[in-house]
Amino acid sequence: MLENFDFGSTENAVYSNDYFKMYVPFDDSWYVKSQEEMKEIAKVSKELIESDSYKRALEASEINNTYLFTLFKYGPDDLFAYNPSLSIVAENTKMYPHVKRGRTYLQEVQKALSLTTVSYEFDMIEEEFIIGKYSFDMMNVTLDYLGLDIKQQYYTTISKGFSLSIILSYTTEAQKAKLESMLNTIVFSEGLSKKKN
């Protein structure tokens, strides 16, 4: 990680990160996953990947890729059909010099997800999403997993040598609306994303 990198902290229903100057107010009835819990989820996800060479590359990249903040509607003791979530993920882009904007990074995400055993559909969105001075590129993802029609929205920008992605996951329009309402409260106190292709 880069010097002075900050994983952030959560207090009074706000996630804050000094490195990215980011503030994320959230519904405190939702469940915040710890870094340890997210590492376990990432380990299970890795088992879905078919290509051994990609598995090795993923393992090498893990030191550069981290979940900064993950919020689920339900906690581990709750019963639910699907647990909608908002995740914020940062990845060091020093090994990807061609990645100058969110769209390029999302194209790499699409390639990676296509190597898994899950069948995905992708839709890269032309317009950009603005949060403060940052311009995020967007991609919609749909997958059928264990009979559930899961939808995800990826919002990605490049900042301070990192890709910064906000990922919404849901199955219903009500879940989508709630997640988008939280997305719209995110604040960046500085920054301007690069706009190069």
pLDDT of residue 35: 67
- pLDDT more than 90, % of the chain: 53
Is residue 2 in some structural domain? no
CB of 26 within 8 A of CB of 15?
yes
pLDDT (0 to 100) of residue 58: 42
The CATH number that applies at residue 44 is 3.40.1000.10
Residues 142-160 have pLDDT tens digits of 998 878 899 999 999 998 8
Q: At what angle do helices 35-46 and 52-61 cross, to 10 degrees?
A: 160
Which residue would you say has higher pLDDT here, 61 or 191?
Answer: 191
Residue 53 located in a structural domain: yes
Q: How confident is the model at residue 163 (pLDDT cuts 50, 70, 90)?
A: very high
Across the range 3-17, mean pLDDT stands at 87
Quick: pLDDT tens for 74-123: 998 888 889 999 999 999 888 778 888 999 999 999 998 888 888 899 99
Our count of domains for the chain comes to: 1
Is 15 contained in some domain? no
pTM above 0.95, yes or no: no
**pLDDT at 43 > cutoff 70:** no
Which of 101, 99, 8 is CA-nearest to residue 61?
A: 99
Confidence of residue 37 (pLDDT cuts 50, 70, 90): low
Place of tokens 């001075």: 133
In a domain, 50, yes or no: yes
The CA distance from 150 to 25, in Å, is: 25
| 3, part of any domain | no
Q: Is residue 16 part of a domain?
A: no
Domain that includes residue 166, residue range? 21-188
pLDDT given at position 193: 47
Q: Which residues of 100-125 are buried (b: 16+ CB within 10 A; e: fewer)?
A: bbbbbbbbbbeeebeebeeeeebeeb
